[in-house]
A and B are shown apart, each in its own frame.
Chain A
Amino acid sequence: MATLETTGPAEAAPSEEGVRRRDFINIAAVSFAGVGAAAVALPLINQMNPSADVLALASIEVDVSQIQPGQAIKTIFRKQPLFVRHLTPQEIKEADAVPLDSLRDPQTLEERTKAGKTQWLITMGVCTHLGCVPLGAAEGEVKGEFGGYFCPCHGSHYDTAARIRKGPAPTNLEVPEYNFTSDTVVQVG
């Protein structure tokens, strides 16, 4: 009959190889638990990314046929204001006349619009300083010293190509990814 003494460590005195094999099992079990925990963490983290319905609205279509030269519209893209502005030839001329090296964030109007569609200036309506919505898109709003946009929060002035000219904002108004699907329809995003 077995007693406690004979079943103690003495009986189980393992060979060198046995120890390694046995330790391997313990280590493997713990490592598997670690891998499993990491795999579970993925969906728990990923659930905070934008959901499918939010992503579905990440791309919008804008009809620009009704915007007359000199006018602009405000629309919503990814829950933020988007400015679509139909520049007049005068405004284009003003923008082109500015020497590049005088700009804080040097970009030409051509770089900020699509080839052959220079009159369509499409930018986010989010000031690059701290995220306020600049004025100047709607009828009768202050357009700032350079005839483009003016952010009332901290006094950033943007010109007719929506480039930063004066005030604290570090960069020009952001141009989102877009392309013309026809002469009058723009797909943004």
Chain B
Amino acid sequence: MVRPIGFLVGLGFVGVLLWSLLWGAVAYVKEPPVPTAEHEFHEHPKKVDFSFNGPLGKFDRGQLQRGFQVYKEVCAACHSLRLVTFRDLQGIGYTEGQTKTLASEWAVETPTINEETGEPATRKSIPADRIPAPFANEIAARAGNAGALPPDLSLIAKARHDGSNYVYSLLTGYQNQPAELLKQFPDSKTGAGLHYNPYFANLNLAMAPPLTSEGQVSYSDGTKPTVDQMSKDVAAFLTWTAEPKLENRHSTGLAVLAFLLIFTVLTYMAYQNIWRDKKH
């Protein structure tokens, strides 16, 4: 009984699938899928040789601090970093005292309530506080950015494909719309208030080029603040904010793998030893 019923059920599924295929094929021939500008002109991120790449990779503390400076002086005007606390900044090489100063001198204060009146108020941040967001809420953020919402950057390096390279590529990828694109897709002209960038998923983003001129940020360690350098530094910093335990992970991983290799060799030898007089 099972097999005749199975046979019929099988024929049914195969039939419907082939019927779907037929219609799909007819539609494909009649109306071939139209190529889109995003499909044709979107580019994969440029590869950067970051110090944290590879299984032995480590962060470059100096670079992270420079990247933090770029965030603080440029990005922080619009983008929050809501998962990062000031105390976390000890992880990029600041001392406890420095994080205290950074917290209390941060341009935006931490929201609180007035102890006497209960009204909303702000206070100076302490190291245990998260870095305050530039806007009180999403509505305020949209209102301040012509309707566009600047995304939170804490996890951006993990929330995009190839995130570290993506951040760098996006920051250095602003350009004029290629003439070829306009010739092929005359309707795809970059709209008002948008900026063409082939590394962005739909090619046009609301954020104006944030890093535009050399020396926009002045580095204290003598590194030349070119747009390229600033982009790399902030990409490295945002990789750290997304994965602060990366170095820990790499070093633990190496120790674990070394242990497991020895363990596996030993178990293999024990296995061979136990089976030595059995053919199998």
A36 touching B263 in the complex, CB below 8 Å, given contacts A53-B128, A56-B87: yes
- CB-based contact B266/A7 at 8 Å: no
From 259 to 279 in chain B, residues with beta carbon under 8 angstroms from any chain A beta carbon are 259-260, 262-263, 266-267, 269-270, 273-274, 276-279
Tell yes or no: B197 within 8 A of A by CB.
Answer: no
A57 touching B128 in the complex, CB below 8 Å, given contacts A12-B276, A33-B263: yes
What is the CA–CA distance of A61 and B127 in the complex, to the nearest angstrom? 12
Question: In the complex, what residues of B have CB within 8 A of residue A2's CB?
Answer: 279
- CB-based contact A26/B262 at 8 Å: no
- CB-based contact A8/B273 at 8 Å: no
| Majority DSSP secondary structure for residues of B touching A | helix
- CB-based contact A22/B273 at 8 Å: yes
Tell yes or no: B85 within 8 A of A by CB.
Answer: yes
Shortest CB–CB separation between residue A69 and chain B, in angstroms?
Answer: 21
A56 touching B128 in the complex, CB below 8 Å, given contacts A22-B273, A26-B270: yes
- CB-based contact B277/A9 at 8 Å: yes
- CB-based contact A12/B269 at 8 Å: no
A-B residue pair count with CB separations less than 8 angstroms? 46
Shortest CB–CB separation between residue A21 and chain B, in angstroms?
Answer: 9
Tell yes or no: A4 within 8 A of B by CB.
Answer: yes
What is the CA–CA distance of A29 and B267 in the complex, to the nearest angstrom? 5
Select the residue from A29, A30, A61 with max chain B CB neighbours within 10 A.
A29
- CB-based contact B263/A7 at 8 Å: no
Shortest CB–CB separation between residue B258 and chain A, in angstroms?
Answer: 12
- CB-based contact B85/A56 at 8 Å: yes
- CB-based contact B127/A28 at 8 Å: no
Tell yes or no: A41 within 8 A of B by CB.
Answer: no
A8 touching B279 in the complex, CB below 8 Å, given contacts A28-B266, A56-B127: no
Question: In the complex, what residues of A have CB within 8 A of residue B270's CB?
Answer: 25-26, 28-30
Question: In the complex, what residues of A have CB within 8 A of residue B262's CB?
Answer: 32
Smallest CB gap from B262: residue in A: A32
Shortest CB–CB separation between residue B83 and chain A, in angstroms?
Answer: 11
Smallest CB gap from B266: residue in A: A29
Question: In the complex, what residues of B have CB within 8 A of residue A25's CB?
Answer: 266, 269-270, 273
What is the CA–CA distance of A4 and B277 in the complex, to the nearest angstrom? 9
Question: In the complex, what residues of B have CB within 8 A of residue A177's CB?
Answer: none
What is the CA–CA distance of A178 and B278 in the complex, to the nearest angstrom? 71
What is the CA–CA distance of A119 and B127 in the complex, to the nearest angstrom? 30
What is the CA–CA distance of A57 and B86 in the complex, to the nearest angstrom? 13
Question: In the complex, what residues of B have CB within 8 A of residue A36's CB?
Answer: 259-260, 263
What is the CA–CA distance of A22 and B274 in the complex, to the nearest angstrom? 9
A7 touching B85 in the complex, CB below 8 Å, given contacts A28-B266, A36-B263: no
Using CB atoms and an 8 Å cutoff, list the residues of chain B in contact with chain A. Answer: 85, 87, 126-128, 259-260, 262-263, 266-267, 269-270, 273-274, 276-279
Q: A7-B279, A29-B266 are in contact. List 15 more A-B contacts (CB 8 A).
A: A7-B278, A9-B277, A12-B277, A25-B270, A26-B270, A26-B274, A28-B270, A29-B263, A32-B266, A33-B263, A36-B259, A39-B259, A52-B87, A53-B85, A56-B128
